[in-house]
Amino acid sequence: MIRLPLALFFSAVLFSSGVYGVLARRNAVMVLMSIELMLNAVNVNLIAFSQRLHDVTGQVFALFVIAVAAAEVGIGLAIVILIYRNRETINVDEVNLLKW
Amino acid sequence: MVAAAEAALSNPGFLRYTWVIALLPLVSATLILFFGKRTPGKGPIYGILALAAGFVMSVAVLWHFVTGGAPYSSSVTWFEVGTFRLELGQYVDGLTAVMVTMVTAISLCIHVYSIGYMQGDKRYTWFFVVLSLFTGAMLNVVVTDNLFQLLVGWEIMGICSYLLIGHWWEEHANSSAAIKAFITTKTGDIPFLFGIFTLVFATGFATTNIQQIGEMASRGEVSTVLLTAGALLLFGGSIGKSAQFPLHVWLPDAMAGPTPVSAQIHAATMVAAGVYLVARTFSVFVHANPIALHVVAAIGGVTLVIAALLALVQDDIKKVLAYSTISQLAYMMAALGLGEAGYAAGMFHLFTHAFFKALLFLAAGSVIHAVHSNNMSEMGGLRKPMPRTFWTYLIGSLALAGVPPLSGFFSKDELIHAAYKAHDYPIMITLLAGAVITAFYTTRMVMLTFFGDYRGHGHPHESPAVMTGPLAALAGATVVVGFLGFAPTKAPFLDWVFFEHPEAAEVSVLVVGLSILVAGTGILVAYALYRRYRERDPLTALGPVYSLLEHKYYLDDIYWKGIVLPIRDKASAFANWTSQVILDGVVNGAARVARALSGLVNGFDRNVLDGAVNGVAQTAGFTGGLLRYIQSGNVQRYAAFLFTGVVILAIVFTRF
Amino acid sequence: MSAQEYAFAVLALVGSVSAIRMVTAKNVVHAALYLVVTLAMVGGVYLVLAAEFVAWVQILIYVGAIVILFLFGLMLTKAPIGREALDNQQRGFALLVSLAVLAGLVFLIQDAFAWSDPKIEPVHGTTAALGESLFRQYVLPFEAVSFLLLAALIGAVVLSRKDDRP
Amino acid sequence: MTIDYHAILPELILSGTLLLVLIADAFIRPRRKWLAMPLSFIGVLAALIAALTLIGSDRTTFSGMYRVDNFALLFKVFFLSVALVVLLISLRYFREGRWYQGEYYYLLLTSFLGAVMMPSSRDLLMLFISLELVSAPGFLIVAFRKSDPRSNEAGIKFFLIGVLSTAVMLYGMSLIYGLTGTTNLSSIGQVLASTLPAGRQTLADAAILFIVAGFAFKVSAVPFQFWAPDTYEGAPVPVAAFLATASKAAGFAGLLQLMFVAFPSQWEFWTPVFAALSIATMTIGNLVALQQRQVVRLLAYSSIAQAGYMLLPFALVSADPVVNKEAFSAATTYILIYAVMTLGAFAVVVALSRESEGLLISDFRGLMRRAPVLAVGMVTFMVSLAGIPPTGGFWAKFLVFKAGIDRGGIGVALAVVMLLNSVASLYYYLLIPREMVFAEPEIERPFRSPVLVTGVAMLATLAILAIGVYPELFYHFPPLSTLVGR
Amino acid sequence: MSGWDKSAISIATFLPLVGAFVIAFMPRDRERLIRGLGILFTGAALAVAIAIAIGFDYGGSGLQFEVSARWIDVIGARYHVGVDGISLPLYLLTFVLSFLCAIYTWRFVPNPGRTKAFLALQLLLETGMAGTFIAFDLVLFFIFWELVLVPMYFLIGIWGSANREYAAIKFFLYTLFGSVFMLLGFLGMYFRSNIGGAHTFDVIQLQQFAASGGFTQGFQVVVFAAIFLGFAIKVPMWPFHTWLPDAHTEAPTVGSVLLAGVLLKMGTYGFVRIALPMLPYAAQKYAPWIGLLAAIAIVYAALACLAQKDLKRLIAFSSVGHMGFVMLAIATLTPIGIDAAIFGMVAHGIITGMLFFCVGSIYDRYHTRQIVDLGGGLMQKLPYLGGVFAFVAIASLGLPGLAGFWGEVMALLSAFSPASSLNTGLFRGYMVAGGVGTILTAGYFLWMLQRVNMGTLPDKWREAALPDVLAVEWVSWVPLLVATVALGVFPRFLFGVTNEAVTALMHLFGG
């Protein structure tokens, strides 16, 4: 017996703090973490709705999101490490050879 | 045999071929153009043959009217625009006959004369091409029966005058004179063109035929307003071509051309056309609001006097003749301005004047040929070395001065008589005054040229027969033709040329007396003044008036400084400037805006486009602008914009 | 307000707080730990919402795997410590944007779903149905995801492997 | 339930191929690594044939989640052909770069697998997965020139923005799911068509916006385009070609389905959004392109501007099914023709990039002398991109104008904006021809370009001209393969 | 209809295109072969065109050699081509000029050579120009219309003089700018048209539809504005003329000849063929303004000419003035006006084309076009070239008996009594302006002749060995010179062709 808005607010908080992290953090890994927060927010929504609607699809969706998230993290870290090897830094705001 | 010939001539069917007279010179022009250089004598022969043939035919045509034949006209369709039909046609009446005879005769003389005069000229053949074309155009004007065809001949004459006046175009002055002549007459042609439009429009695009328009006018089927407008506009054309005030300025300069050309222009073609046009379309003038004729008369009167006065002060012999021409033409205009009364007289004067003016010019040419100068101040005493020239010249001058029994006397007498008969005393007085001045400057000219002692260089000698021959012929004509209008001989001319109905010749002792008197006075006064040559012209005593005349009433200056230069230099520069700067500026401005925007967005200018579009200015001012900030290469800033975008879109489109 | 709701509220609160701390922490390792907490709380939320399977997957994959990955990443790249080192210049702007997002979402949500109703009545034992549909209805995306993971794996290996040639 | 294997045959063949490539690569000796390319080429060809066998059929499987109809087939065939081309222009490039060829082709094919699945996905989940399948390998191959920091940078940028927008999109999807209780596009359409309470209506709109944002990233629409220029420039050129065509087209394929199947009832809300996106995209793209000097970047901005043109038809959607149909086919046609021109252009760039890295416009100097075929091709592509007849590009634009005029009102306004844009764009599109034709080359020696690449360029040229002269060739399909009015 | 009737114009129109391809695949170094092919193909096309002109039924007013084949069903565009009295003269003119240009190219290939590309583009251009005059489907018309842009862009950009790239891009962008709005207008008409429930791009059908009052007045006013922009820029009418002087001045001789000779006519032709009959109401509303612009153009261009120092630029401006007469004639919306307009177009094509030939040859001898540098005396140095130049200049200032005259006079006449729906007084005002324009025109041409042809030759040229008119030049010029005289003496050659068609058109126009 849980109010739906409560769940949604929670996800909203997660989402927006994720947004903040993505925009404010220099360290690429931290940025990735923040993105994970946002994805979790999505999942919270999905689960909440699926239970609200008594429909399993939401949970399935959530599982897929988690899987994809894992993949993304793998890719992301790979690229980060690659950059680190070439540039000795993973500060996103220093990665700006390409501009204009 | 003779009877047969007479039959053939009196047969109106012969008139059917009048147009051939007009065609022949055109053909000869073409022949000279393409084969002239390859024919012995370098070409003039074609022109002479054509004109000779033309002359014979025109005599035959004239004969038809001598024997009291009826006018004849015929036409074929030229082309159609919409429902509007233009025609090629001919209208042959007494006037036409006289004109063709006159033109062919004089032009023939000029051709022959030119063989001698132009001998050795580097564009000898070309000269005859244009000369023939010129004559052909004039004949075309004379023969045609409709306005558009007339216009064609009219303008071709214009270009021919341009080519001939500028014949020696190496001299800048000559080419300028040529341009002046063309542009000035063209200025008259535009009203003329619009006049044609008006008349054609007045007939509801039914016809361009002059006679038909005339009939419609006389039947009152055409609104007087349109008629008047048409008449005045047409007269604009005449003003230009016949060098009437205020468009007379081109004629004196036209002396820049070879002398035969001057003769051609002044006697046979060009200027005659202007008068002829008025005569040909006379019914339009007559049935229009009287104002039309008044204008004609007024212009004639004014021109008559001012031109004659200008003739007084000229040193260049040809200029004297030029101004005399203007003033003589003005006589005709004034006469025509009198209405029906002056019609025949005007035409008669046109006829006689053609002969003695041609004579004078050719004779003057022969003088110039001898002394290599136009200035009378470098002549004098020429009667001894060149007697033939002298005598012919004298005949011409006396005719011009209006001394009986020479042609000039009769025609001028008729003019004055016409004015008298029409009770138009202002005109009459003007004519008489003109006669005095004419007599005066003519005498002055003769005295300065042929009497006293020779003041020029070298030893002048008589010109070759090929030149003096025509002189003699024209002199003879000058003596004879006058009697065509001599009352005691029942003035046959008046039976050939008349408006609507022929009028009987009358003699008024008063008028005859008056004209002899004025002529005499002019001659005597002049003789008195110029018996002995003086360095300073006696007329300089007139003081300010003299300088006013010397400066041609400052008209040329006014035209040049007040019209030509402002247009040629100021207005044109302005137009060019607006095009380059304003209009093109807008176009390039658009480019500049695009560039500025992209510069703004891009933040700075990489000179990628430098010079490709000049409007695209260097937008260095935007250095460190938007794009630099946005496309900073910093991915987090991208992200920031991404979210801002979403948020803004969300707010804008979900709330509103 | 029911017990479940209390539990949910508490979990959510803790999760939120630690999430915020995570994106503001001065120390990367702390941040990683905060992330762990948040993820765990989310997992708890799933439990409360009776989505057991998803909850366990969450715990296993996220807390078990992904966070470890992150820690490896951090260590491999010797992430520095300290706010200046960790945050960039547009922090203020970031705060602005994120707050805007939060506000917007909250507004929209409360506008869409009244606070009182609707309520979620969690039904337990959905796992069977979940597996059922996952391997019947959703087999295609399932396969697709497997391809995705494989690709990610291969690619990650290729990129992060040290090359013999520069 | 049973699975319709024929329906997913192309996907099966493709996935089989890519696994084969992966395995084979392990056993091929380094100097033979390029063999992966012909292998994948054959596979794709087979998949293409399989797809062709399906033409005309309309099959649904996986309980309505996956549909194979004309629309899907049109795009499948298109994607597979693009795949062939990309493979062709990749061979020489990667062989000379000696980058991990096997893995590259494997990842490329995976990406195309996602693309091929995209137009059949009639379910939010399916769309999401396909999109990821297109993107994720993309992130990797963009960074494939490992030793080049620019390439890495391209990778990280592409990746971060990509993931970010995925997250946003997912959030939107979750909300839509919550509001409609389903993830199936057509049922979503039905639910949304029935009136929701005001508040939820608004939330739905916001959700749609989030989802659109996700795809806007894929098609690089302003303000989600920032990654594109940097990424295109940094990525290996063939990959840039892939991103500019297949990946973009995939995004549009998804967008078309969402807008025309799931959210048509909300048009009053989202058409203005698309109008704004379209205008902003085409204008910014063109303005910035005006000053680019680096060819790939120029093409990147051009592709952004073009995306703006492609988004325009979406803004024309209304209650009138006729116009919708027109707009739909306009968008589809534009995407397809655009891909042909862009591929051609990129082929030429690939050929030239062997001479100079970071190709500048000035590097085209006098190409007309050195490589007439390529030059003529390039001129054709540029003129076509600018939309001058008689080239394919004109017809693409023509259809959009036509739809706009038919829509009337806002449509006409948009058409005018687009017209002005295309006129302005001509300027920078002519920069390259100018260099090639007007200027004399510094190096006289004829330019030797890979035979495959030249072939591709010629092929594209002919295609463009053929379409230009007889557009019926192309116009024929989109109207048939419409999602509208079903 | 026989196969010939079906195929004739298609053959004539696309033969040059074939030629372009053939030449494109010739080896670059086979100069003579390439030039020969150029002459061959243009000649062949001309032959076919002449055959068409011979087979043409001058009595009939309708479309002849008509072909209407399915082309793009989806948008209802058809390959509908044919010729009538209005398009035939311009169609023929296109082939004649192209042929003569090809001949001229036999001897004169401007820097930087590259004959192959030069001729190929020339041929491509020819197809585009010819197609415009026979297209009876708006889409087809537009395609041909735009087809000329690219070749002309390159002709100017590669073989032009100093400032060529600017001129080229300006020409391209400016005309394109106009034509896109024209395209919008076409689409608008398409959707408003209703032929048995279907939309159409077909010119004939649209004309009939419009004649039956199909288009509402408001709609017409809007669409006319759009189409007007496209045509007016092409003509070019004042104040859209600024691209012309640049393009002409920079373009190579052949480019200028074709530009002045044919390209400009596409705009005026568009007015006659599309704008007027399809939007009669708007035409009447706009006519006074068009007339005004035309009148301004006549006087303005003449004045601008007086200020020009570059011979070619002067002539470029002069064509602005001449097209002004054409537009004035069109604006009167009378049969006489339209006839005059077409006559003016052809005459201008012949005469101005010839003028550009002359200037090109003068430049080829002296390597300068600055009137000051030439310094006069051309007639002394090169009497024949000077003579031809003078002749053409005089023809251009509208001397009766030469082609230039009738277009001008009839234009003025039509302005004297414009269509009943128009303000007569106003148009008579325009007529007067036109008259003044003719005087000024005479002025600047004669002044030009005085400064270039007449006077004495500057010493710097005295020694220079400059060839007078060459055989090639005679061959490529004589036809034009003959045509100039022929049309002047027998205007029926042209009026006879156009009259029927124009009358029919205006009847349909009803204005």
Q: Which chain A residues in 7-26 lie under 8 Å from chain C, judged by CB atoms?
A: 7-10, 12-26
Residue B549: its pLDDT value, please?
Answer: 84
Range in B634-648, C133-147, E400-414 with the lowest mean pLDDT: B634-648
Both structure tokens of B371: 């002394």
Spell out which chain E residues touch chain D, with contact meaning CB-CB distance below 8 angstroms: 71-75, 112, 117, 139, 142-143, 146-147, 149-150, 153-154, 157-158, 164-165, 169, 172-173, 176-177, 180-181, 183-184, 187-188, 190-191
CB contact under 8 A, E74 and D472: yes
Contact between chains at A23 and B640 (C-beta distance less than 8 A): yes
Quick check: B633 and D230 CB within 8 A? yes
pLDDT of residue E511: 45
- B:C CB pairs within 8 Å: 17
Interface A-B, measured as beta-carbon pairs within 8 A, has a size of 31
Residue E217 exposure: Cα atoms within 13 Å on the Cβ side: 4
CA distance B377 to B370: 15
Partner-chain contact B80 E499, CB within 8 Å: yes
Least reliable range by pLDDT among D354-363, D462-471, E431-440, E476-485: D354-363
- Residue D206: partners with Cβ closer than 8 Å, 6 or more residues away: B650, B654, C104, C108, D172, D175
Query: Whole-angstrom Cα distance, residue B593 to residue B616?
Result: 8
**pLDDT tens per residue across span D48-73:** 999 999 888 888 888 888 999 889 99
> Cβ contact (<8 Å) for A72 and D163?
yes
Output the pLDDT for position B621: 31
Instruction: Confirm if E287 and E317 have CB atoms less than 8 A apart.
Output: no
Inter-chain touch D170–A65, beta carbons under 8 Å: yes
Task: Give the integer Cα–Cα distance in Å for D414 and A79.
Answer: 41
**pLDDT for E3-36, tens place per residue?**
888 889 999 999 999 999 999 888 888 889 999 9
Minimum distance, in Å, between the CA of residue D355 and any CA atom of chain B: 21
Please tell me the distance from the alpha carbon of residue E11 to that of residue E46, in angstroms, as a whole number.
11
| D460 has pLDDT over 90 | yes
In this prediction, residue B628 carries a pLDDT of: 62
Single-letter amino acid, residue D472: E
Distant-in-sequence, close-in-space partners of B476: CB < 8 Å, separation ≥ 6: none
B637/C100 Cβ within 8 A? no
Contact B635, D157 (CB under 8 A): yes
Taking only the tens place, the pLDDT of each residue in B200-225 is: 998 888 888 998 998 888 888 888 89
State the helix-helix crossing angle for D149-180 and D227-234, rounded to 10 degrees. 140
For residue D140, which residues of chain C lie inside 8 Å, CB to CB?
Answer: 151-152, 155-156, 158-159
Name the neighbours of A, counting chains with at least 3 Cβ pairs within 8 A: B, C, D
Q: What is the mean pLDDT of residues D254-261?
A: 92
Separation of alpha carbons B359 and B364, rounded Å: 8
- pLDDT classification of C164: cutoffs 50, 70, 90: low
Decide which of C121 and B32 is more confident: B32
First to last CA, chain D: 25
Residues of D within 8 A of A35 (CB-CB) are 160, 163-164, 167
Any chain B CB within 8 A of the CB of E410? yes
Query: Taking 70 as the threshold, does the pLDDT of residue B235 lie above it?
Result: yes
Q: What is the pLDDT of residues A64-95, one digit of tens each?
A: 999 999 999 999 999 998 888 888 777 777 77
Per the CB < 8 Å rule, is B643 touching A100? no
What digits encode the pLDDT tens for the residues C146-158? 999 999 999 998 8
Selecting from D18, D103, D129 the residue whose C-beta is nearest the C-beta of C158 gives D103
**Euclidean distance between CA atoms B568 and E302, whole angstroms:** 10
Q: Would you say residue D104 has pLDDT above 50?
A: yes
Contact at 8 Å (CB) between D233 and D150?
A: yes
A54: left (phi over 0), alpha (psi -120 to 50) or beta: left
> Judging by DSSP bridges, how do beta strands B72-81 and E64-72 pair with one another?
unpaired
Q: How far is D270 from chain C (nearest CA, A)?
A: 17
Residue B125 has pLDDT above 50, yes or no: yes
Say how far apart CA E484 and CA E487 lie, in whole Å. Answer: 6
Q: Is E470 helix (H, G, I), strand (E, B) or coil?
A: coil
| Residue that is written with structure tokens 């234009």 in the block | E411
Closest CB to C109: pick one of D62, D114, D203.
D203
Residue of C nearest to B641 (CA): C97
What mean pLDDT do residues D386-396 have? Answer: 91
The whole-number pLDDT of residue B2 equals 55
* Residue E122 confidence class, pLDDT cut points 50, 70, 90: very high
| Smallest CA–CA distance from D300 into chain A, residue | A100
User: What percentage of chain D has pLDDT greater than the value 70?
Assistant: 98
Can you read off the two tokens belonging to residue E443?
Answer: 């002025």
Residue in chain D closest to A50 (alpha carbons) equals D178
- Name the residue of chain B whose CA is nearest to A98's CA: B633
Residue D436 DSSP label: I
- Minimal C-alpha gap between B647 and chain A (Å): 12
Give me the DSSP letters along E330-350.
HHTTSHHHHHHHHHHHHHHHH
pLDDT, tens digit (0-9, with 9 covering 90-100), for E303-327:
999 999 999 999 999 999 999 999 9
Nearest CA in chain B to A16: B643
Structure token pair of residue E444 = 């600047």
What is the nearest CA distance from E70 to chain D, expressed in angstroms?
10
Residue B624 Rama label (left phi>0; alpha psi -120 to 50; beta): left
Q: What is the pTM of this model?
A: 0.91
Interface contact flag, D140 C151, Cβ < 8 Å = yes
Summarize the confidence of residues B100-124 as an average pLDDT.
Answer: 87
pLDDT of residue E102 exceeding 60:
yes
Q: What is the ipTM of this complex?
A: 0.89
Q: In chain D, whose CA is at the least distance from the CA of A31? A: D160
Mean pLDDT of B312-333: 88
Q: In degrees, to the nearest 5, what angle opens at C-alpha D126 toward C-alphas B645 and D190?
A: 80
Chain D contacts of C158, Cβ < 8 Å?
100, 103, 140, 144
Q: Which residues of C touch A7 (CB under 8 A)?
A: 8, 12, 45, 49, 120
pLDDT score at B3: 58
Residue of E nearest to D380 (CA): E150
Q: Which chains touch E (3 or more CB pairs under 8 A)?
A: B, D
Q: How far apart are CA B394 and CA B471, in angstroms?
A: 11
State the average pLDDT for chain D. 90
Q: To the nearest whole number, what is the mean pLDDT of chain C? A: 86
Per-residue pLDDT averaged across E50-77, rounded? 87
Among E271, C73, E283, D182, CA closest to A60: D182
Chains near C with 3+ CB pairs less than 8 A apart are: A, B, D
Q: Give the pLDDT of residue D485.
A: 54
> For the residues B544-559, what does the mean pLDDT come to?
85
Tell whether E75 lies on the interface with B, counting CB pairs under 8 A.
no
pLDDT band at residue E141, thresholds of 50, 70 and 90?
very high
Q: What is the pLDDT of residue B403?
A: 84
- Taking only residues 39 to 98 of chain A, the set having a beta carbon closer than 8 angstroms to any beta carbon of chain C reads 40, 43-44, 47-48, 50-52, 54, 56-57, 59-60, 62-64, 66-75, 77-82, 84-85, 90-93
- pLDDT(C99) > 90: yes
Interface test with D, best of B626, B642, B647, B652 (most D CBs within 10 A): B642
Closest CA to B309 of B649, B545, B39, B638: B545
> Given a contact as 3+ CB pairs under 8 Å, which chains touch D?
A, B, C, E
Chain A CB contacts of D128 under 8 Å are 64, 68
Residues of C within 8 A of B647 (CB-CB) are 97, 100-101, 104
Question: Nearest chain A Cα to D233, which residue?
Answer: A98
